[in-house]
């Protein structure tokens, strides 16, 4: 029994030793795993720190790049203001044909450079997350007219039919970022003109099925009859720095950012973007944008249609089916009775059959020109008003309108405002508008304007532009001089540069507003002149007490719009 128990005890001892060894091995393995986990944790923590440092570095680099682009934009815009301003002033002088050609080339090249600067700046804004919407009420018809007018000269130069088609059921006044809408539309139109040599360019606006009680989604589209795109080319269009192909860049140029920025702008407005195209046939670029309905409409934004044209019978003579259909629907939405035809013979038969108040005719017709219709009206319906639609340069002789007793020329491309004004002028006294214009010019001459600008080139530009408006301003070279001039003279308008030595425009504006509050005087209109296009600079100017913000380079139309706004206050 003793031997038996000794053997059992020995076996038990061996088993316990084995279990102890296994336990020691397990603990060693656990310690090893613990050390590995700790090392992995240290490694992950180091990687996270590295990632955070890389992210911070990337953010710093992005901010540096944005600041660099903003600084470079400012530095480039300042001399560009001189180039474009002096070009515009020189165009108003007596030039021969060759000088005019050279000057137009300088202007187009400068505008192209300015467009590239704007694209780069917008691209940097998106990368830095600084792009935001500026919601305000705007008139959609006015927006489209502005876009058409911007490309009127290009349409004449390339002999392209440019027209806008606006759905009349869309509310006239909406709320949204009109500047960004205009930017996308102008980019689409620019591409359409770049790649189209003949035919039509149509800008259309319609509603989608995604409208709601407080909002409406609109679809904007630009259709051209240009070179078109293959499926492969369409896939890469909306990526930054991309062209359809290398030959496209070589022939047409461009930064390759326009469509990429347009895509981001459309998405910022809760919309989308796309293209429908066929190589050799043409393209339709479209985007959607969600806009708000304006419940409390500012009546000054409404463009009321004159009662003088209500119910009038009009004969439209236009051989182009695209423009004929658009103009007919537009006139019918204005409560005119419209009959359309496309030739001189058809027009004569219509005149014999109906009594028309107005005949609106395209100059170039299928069988002749519309001057034959004017002759026929003088013999058979002298009371009917005749309006001719034509590019002004297509009329060979300057006295051709007088020869055929044509009172009104509606210059193409046709905008809604031009068409409405032409119809109203045809039915009312032509002297009325001339008297209004004379009164306006007289008011402009008596405006008291102070120009605050330290750059001598910019001084010459602004003084020259104001001289064209019959305005002789006072001049100050910095904020201190501006304050001294303000204390001596009561001004209607101050054009204030933002960055100047001794005292900048922000501080000068702030002190002017403080002096007005102390004296109880009526606030003077202060317009900022800045080479910075970023919204934070505009916000800083408005916070300093400025009323308007003009971005350099400044043109005659910018000043004219500002002055007209001041006169209407």
Q: pLDDT, tens digit, for every residue of 407-420? A: 788 888 888 988 99
Top-ranked range on mean pLDDT: pick from 35-44, 96-105, 122-131, 254-263: 35-44
Residue 193 is predicted with a pLDDT of 92
pLDDT at 431 over 50: no
Full DSSP string of 479-529: HHHHHHHHHHS--SEEEEESS-SSS-HHHHHHHHHHHHHHHTPPPPEEEEE
- Band the pLDDT of 224: cuts 50, 70, 90: very high
Q: Residue ranges of the domains in the chain?
A: 2-128, 136-301, 309-428, 440-567
State the virtual CA torsion across 453, 459, 461, 463 in degrees, nearest 10: 100
Q: Residue 364 carries which DSSP code?
A: B
Alpha-carbon distances, residue 3 vs 8, 9, 10, 15, 509 (angstroms): 9, 10, 10, 18, 113
The pLDDT of 453-481, averaged and rounded, is 85
**H helices then E strands: how many in the chain?**
19, 17
- Band the pLDDT of 433: cuts 50, 70, 90: very low
pLDDT at 129 over 50: yes
Residue 14 is predicted with a pLDDT of 83
Identify the CA nearest to 358 among candidates 419, 415, 417: 419
- Band the pLDDT of 79: cuts 50, 70, 90: confident
Lowest mean per-residue pLDDT among 193-197, 386-390, 402-406 = 402-406
What whole-number distance in Å separates Cα of residue 310 and Cα of residue 314? 11
Identify the CA nearest to 293 among candidates 129, 449, 137: 137
- Band the pLDDT of 339: cuts 50, 70, 90: very high
145-179 pLDDT, tens digit each:
888 888 887 888 888 999 999 999 999 999 999 88
* Average pLDDT in the chain: 82
pLDDT at 434 over 50: no
The pLDDT of 128-144, averaged and rounded, is 84
Q: Residue 288 carries which DSSP code?
A: E
What whole-number distance in Å separates Cα of residue 235 and Cα of residue 346? 47
Q: How many residues does the chain have?
A: 569
What whole-number distance in Å separates Cα of residue 379 and Cα of residue 400? 18
- Band the pLDDT of 73: cuts 50, 70, 90: low
Residue 437 is predicted with a pLDDT of 39
Residue 176 is predicted with a pLDDT of 93
What whole-number distance in Å separates Cα of residue 207 and Cα of residue 220? 9
Identify the CA nearest to 355 among candidates 386, 328, 405, 315: 315
Higher pLDDT, 23 or 419: 419
pLDDT at 296 over 80: yes
Q: Residue 454 carries which DSSP code?
A: -
Higher pLDDT, 417 or 446: 417
pLDDT at 82 over 70: yes
Lowest mean per-residue pLDDT among 53-67, 189-203, 327-341, 382-396 = 53-67
The pLDDT of 124-153, averaged and rounded, is 82
- Same CATH fold assignment for domains 309-428 and 440-567: yes
Does 440-567 carry CATH code 3.30.300.20?
Answer: no
Residue 432 is predicted with a pLDDT of 37
- How does strand 337-341 pair with strand 313-317? parallel
Does 2-128 carry CATH code 1.10.10.10?
Answer: no
| Backbone phi and psi for residue 294, each to the nearest 5 degrees, phi listed first | -90, 110
Does 136-301 carry CATH code 3.30.565.10?
Answer: yes
Helix (H, G, I), strand (E, B) or coil at 130: coil
Q: Residue 439 in contact with residue 59, Cβ under 8 Å? A: no
Higher pLDDT, 296 or 164: 164
pLDDT over 90 percentage in the chain: 31
H or E segment and range at residue 465:
helix 456-468
CATH of domain 309-428: 3.40.50.2300
Identify the CA nearest to 495 among candidates 534, 517, 469, 521: 469
């Amino acid at each position: 029994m003793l031997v038996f128990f000794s053997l059992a005890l020995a076996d038990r001892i061996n088993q316990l030793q084995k279990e102890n060894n296994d336990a020691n091995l397990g603990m060693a393995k656990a310690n090893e795993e613990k050390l590995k986990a700790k090392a992995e944790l240290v490694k992950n923590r180091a990687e996270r720190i590295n990632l955070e440092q890389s992210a911070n570095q990337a953010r710093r680099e992005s901010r540096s790049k944005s600041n660099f682009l903003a600084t470079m934009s400012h530095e480039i815009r300042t001399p560009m203001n001189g180039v474009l301003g002096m070009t515009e002033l020189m165009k108003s002088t007596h030039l021969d044909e060759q000088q005019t050609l050279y000057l137009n080339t300088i202007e187009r090249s400068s505008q192209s450079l300015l467009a590239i600067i704007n694209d780069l700046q917008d691209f940097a804004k998106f990368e830095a997350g600084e792009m935001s919407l500026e919601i305000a009420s705007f008139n959609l018809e006015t927006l489209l007219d502005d876009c058409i007018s911007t490309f009127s000269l290009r349409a004449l130069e390339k002999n392209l039919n440019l027209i806008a088609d606006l759905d009349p059921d869309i509310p006239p006044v909406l709320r949204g970022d009109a500047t960004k809408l205009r930017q996308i539309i102008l980019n689409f139109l620019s591409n359409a003109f770049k790649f189209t040599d003949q035919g039509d360019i149509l800008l259309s606006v319609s509603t989608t099925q995604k409208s709601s009680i407080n909002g409406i989604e609109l679809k904007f589209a630009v259709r051209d009859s240009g070179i078109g795109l293959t499926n492969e080319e369409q896939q890469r269009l909306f990526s930054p720095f991309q062209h359809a192909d290398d030959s496209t860049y070589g022939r047409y140029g461009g930064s390759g950012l326009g469509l990429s920025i347009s895509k981001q702008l459309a998405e910022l407005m809760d919309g989308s973007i796309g293209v429908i195209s066929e190589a050799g046939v043409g393209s339709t670029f479209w985007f959607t944008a969600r806009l708000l309905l304006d419940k409390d409409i500012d009546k000054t934004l409404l463009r009321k249609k004159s009662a003088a044209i209500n119910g009038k019978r009009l004969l439209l003579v236009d051989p182009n089916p695209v423009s004929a259909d658009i103009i007919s629907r537009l006139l019918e939405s204005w409560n005119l009775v419209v009959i359309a035809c496309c030739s001189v013979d058809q027009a004569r038969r219509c005149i014999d059959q109906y009594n028309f108040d107005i005949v609106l005719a395209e100059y170039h017709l299928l069988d002749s020109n519309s001057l034959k219709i004017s002759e026929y009206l003088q013999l058979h319906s002298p009371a009917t008003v005749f309006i001719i639609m034509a590019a002004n340069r297509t009329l060979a002789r300057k006295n051709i309108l007088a020869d055929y007793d044509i009172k009104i020329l509606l210059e193409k491309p046709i905008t809604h405002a031009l068409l409405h004004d032409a119809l109203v002028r045809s039915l009312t006294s032509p002297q009325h508008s001339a008297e209004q214009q004379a009164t306006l010019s007289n008011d402009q001459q008596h405006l008291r304007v102070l120009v605050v600008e330290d750059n001598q080139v910019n001084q010459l530009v602004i003084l020259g532009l104001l001289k064209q408006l019959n305005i002789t301003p006072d001049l100050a070279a910095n904020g201190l001089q501006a304050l001294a001039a303000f204390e001596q003279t009561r001004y209607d308008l101050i054009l204030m540069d933002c960055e100047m030595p001794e005292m900048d425009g922000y501080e000068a504006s702030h002190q002017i507003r403080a002096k007005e509050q102390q004296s109880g005087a009526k606030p003077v209109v202060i317009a900022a002149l800045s080479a910075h296009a970023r919204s934070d600079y505009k916000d800083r100017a408005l916070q300093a007490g400025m009323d308007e913000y003009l971005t350099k380079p400044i043109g005659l139309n910018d000043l004219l719009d500002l002055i007209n706004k001041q006169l209407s206050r």
